[in-house]
Amino acid sequence: MKRPAPREPRPVEHLDVSTASGRTYLNQSGAGNPDAILLLHGSGPGASAWSNWRLLLPVLGDTFRCLAPDFVGFAASEHPENPPVGASAWLDLWVRQITDFLDALGLERVHLVGNSLGGAIALHLASRHPRRFKRIALMGSVGVPFTMNPKLDAIWGFYTNPSVEKMREMIGWFAYRPETFSEDLGTIARMRYDAAMDAKVRCSYQTMFPAPRQRHVDACVLPDDALERIEHPCLLIHGRDDLIVPLETSLYLLQKLPDVRLHVFGQCSHWTQIEYADEFERLLRDFFLEETRR
C-alpha cells in the first residue's frame, strides 16, 4: 500500500465545547479535514488528552480532523459537583459525554482510538452506539477480564499517599525505556503531580476507583457476546512488556472481536504512542486510510 507523502504538521487548538451533559475541553488539529478521529485518553492521576496525544495530534492532523477531549472528571473538562462513585457509574457518564460531544460538533460517524481505560470506553461506545463509529484502534486496552496487578492498583490508588516521588516512580512504569521521553522524567512527574493535585481533579479521581479496586477493572468489562457483535474493523496495539495492562488483554480481544488485527511492540511498556511515536502514527494512519480506499 503506497502511503501519501505527509504534509506539514498542523497546529493544535484548545477550546471548550458545550454539550447536553456539560462542558468538554477539546484539543483539536486538522479542523478543515473531512474525516475525523476521536482520541480517548487513559486514567492515570493527572492524565489529560494533551498528555496522551500531544505527539500525535500535530502529525495526524495533516490528513484527519483529530479530536482529543478530556473526559468529564479529568483535567480541564467539567467536574461534577456530586460525582458518582465507582468506575461503573463513571463509565456511563463518559459514554454519555462522548455521544453528546459528537452531537454538539454535528459529527455523525468518526474513527475511534482508545488508550487503556479509554479503550474500555471505546468498546462500550462501539457496543451501545455502533453507527457512530467507523474503525476502532485500541492500545493497551482494559475492558476484558484480567486480574489487577500491583502497579495498576498503585496508580488508581495514588491519592492514598500522593507525592512527586511516587508520581515519578509511576511514570517510569509507563515506558520500557524512560529516556525515550522528550522531557526529563522529573519534569514530567512534577507536571503530572501538579495537575493531579488540582482540587477538582483530586475530588473527581478519588471517587472513580476507591478500594478495593479489582471491582473497577471488572466494571469495565464488556461481555463476550457484546464483543462478538462489534463488527467494526479493529486494530489492537500493545507493548509486549506492558507493566500496567498485560498483553493478555489484547490477546483476549484478538479471540473475541470478529474483524481484528494485532500489532505488538517488543521492548515497550504501556505508552506505545510515546515510546514508538513514529511507528504508532504510521499504524493509525494506514489503518484509517484503508476506509477511504474501500
Give the pLDDT confidence of 13-54 residue by residue, as tens digits. 999 999 998 999 999 999 999 999 999 999 999 999 999 999
Decide: 91 and 124 in contact? Cβ < 8 Å: yes
Give the pLDDT confidence of 187-227 residue by residue, as tens digits. 889 999 999 999 999 999 999 999 999 999 999 999 999 99
pLDDT tens for the chain, 294 residues: list them.
344 455 678 999 999 999 998 999 999 999 999 999 999 999 999 999 999 999 999 999 999 999 999 999 999 999 999 999 999 999 999 999 999 999 999 999 999 999 999 999 999 999 999 999 999 999 999 999 999 999 999 999 999 999 999 999 999 999 998 877 767 888 889 999 999 999 999 999 999 999 999 999 999 999 999 999 999 999 999 999 999 999 999 999 999 999 999 999 999 999 999 999 999 999 999 999 998 776
Neighbouring C-beta atoms of residue 10, cutoff 10 Å: 22
Candidate list 21, 43, 51, 116, residue with the active-site label: 116
> Does residue 225 carry a catalytic annotation?
no
Cα Rg for the chain, rounded, in angstroms? 18
User: Which residues, in sequence order, are CB contacts of 51 under 8 Å at separation 6+?
Assistant: 41, 192, 195
> Does residue 116 carry a catalytic annotation?
yes
> Does residue 270 carry a catalytic annotation?
yes
**What distance in Å separates the CA atoms of residue 194 and residue 248, rounded to the nearest whole number?**
33
Candidate list 29, 70, 216, 242, residue with the active-site label: 242
**What distance in Å separates the CA atoms of residue 8 and residue 15, rounded to the nearest whole number?**
22
